Amino acid sequence: MGRDRSKPQKGYTQLLQNKPGYGSLATARTVNVDVHHKHCYHLSRFLRGKTAGAAITYLHQVIKVDGWIPHPDAPSGFKRLDSVGLRNQAKAIPYIIRSRGGKGGNTMAGHRKGKMGPGRYPVKASMAFIGLIENAMDNARQHFEDLDPEEMEITHLAAHRGQIARGWRARARGRSSPKDHYQVNLEIFLEHEEGEDDEGEF
């Protein structure tokens, strides 16, 4: 039985319905990812509106800063190399939204080469987004055999706070302090933009 895309879907923050001018919706969602919410927010803002293939290509450039490259035989899907030349190829994610109080909208991020301005290399969050986008592309292949998932546009990409990972930090004299960490829920919508050649296809 197919999903009623005119009604809210449990776990998602938006209606699973096609936007005007778009069709062939594919979705994916992951919960309680152990990454920082701030990094996921900036990644979502930067990748929204790009095609799935272009987003994965750019994220592969981001993780090169720590020497990570895609490797199908590795359990995690990535292999780490100790290469200075590989790190020099890395690209940053712009951090231009105020993430904490301060004069001038302090983003706590240094400027990068080119016209980007403040930016960083969120490696761990980028790996989580690569897995999320690839999952959505696999879902698209299952439902729409005549479409290329890499050409589908990311029309919705969001990061929300998930469960709190509780922990304790040991202190002096037998004491301890709370060490809590907010986990993140990620969701993505991939849609195919309908052109003149696609009229009446869906």
**DSSP annotation string for 87-104:** HHT--PEE--S--S--TT
Q: Which of 63, 61, 79, 80 is nearest to 71 (CA)?
A: 79
Q: How far apart are CA 38 and CA 80, in angstroms?
A: 25
pLDDT of residue 1: 34
Tokens describing residue 143: 């439902």
Whether residue 151 is contained in a domain is answered as yes
Q: Is residue 152 part of a domain?
A: yes
Question: For residue 4, is it within any domain?
Answer: no
Q: What is the pLDDT of residue 152?
A: 94
pLDDT per residue, tens digit, the chain (202 aa), is: 345 666 666 777 877 766 777 778 899 999 999 999 889 999 999 999 999 999 999 999 999 999 888 888 887 788 888 888 888 889 999 987 765 555 444 567 888 888 888 889 999 999 999 999 999 999 999 988 889 999 999 999 999 989 998 999 999 999 999 998 889 999 999 998 876 454 434 3
Residue 16 lies in a domain: no
Cα torsion angle, 64, 67, 73, 75, sign: negative
Residue 146 in any domain: the answer is yes
181-193: strand order across its sheet: 22-33, 181-193, 153-165
C-alpha pair distances (Å), 60 with each of 31, 123, 136, 189? 22, 9, 17, 20
From start to end of the chain, where are the E strands? 22-33, 68-70, 78-80, 93-94, 111-112, 117-120, 153-165, 168-170, 176-178, 181-193
Domain containing 40 — which CATH number? 3.90.470.10
Residues whose CB is less than 8 angstroms from the CB of residue 80 and which lie 6 or more positions away in sequence, other chains included: 66, 67, 68, 69
pTM (two decimals):
0.84
Say if residues 106 and 100 touch (Cβ distance below 8 Å).
yes
Query: Can you give the pLDDT at residue 98?
Result: 66
Is 97 part of a structural domain of the chain? Answer: yes
Q: Sign of the CA dihedral 142, 143, 148, 152?
A: negative
Residue 4, pLDDT score: 61
pLDDT attached to residue 102: 53
| 88 Cβ neighbours under 8 A, 6+ residues apart | none
pLDDT of residue 201: 42
Q: What is the rounded CA–CA span in Å between residue 25 and residue 28?
A: 10
> Does residue 7 lie within any of the structural domains?
no
Q: Does 188 reside within a domain?
A: yes
Domain count, the chain: 1
Which of 73, 76, 19 has the alpha carbon at shortest distance from 48? 19
Range of the domain at 83: 22-198
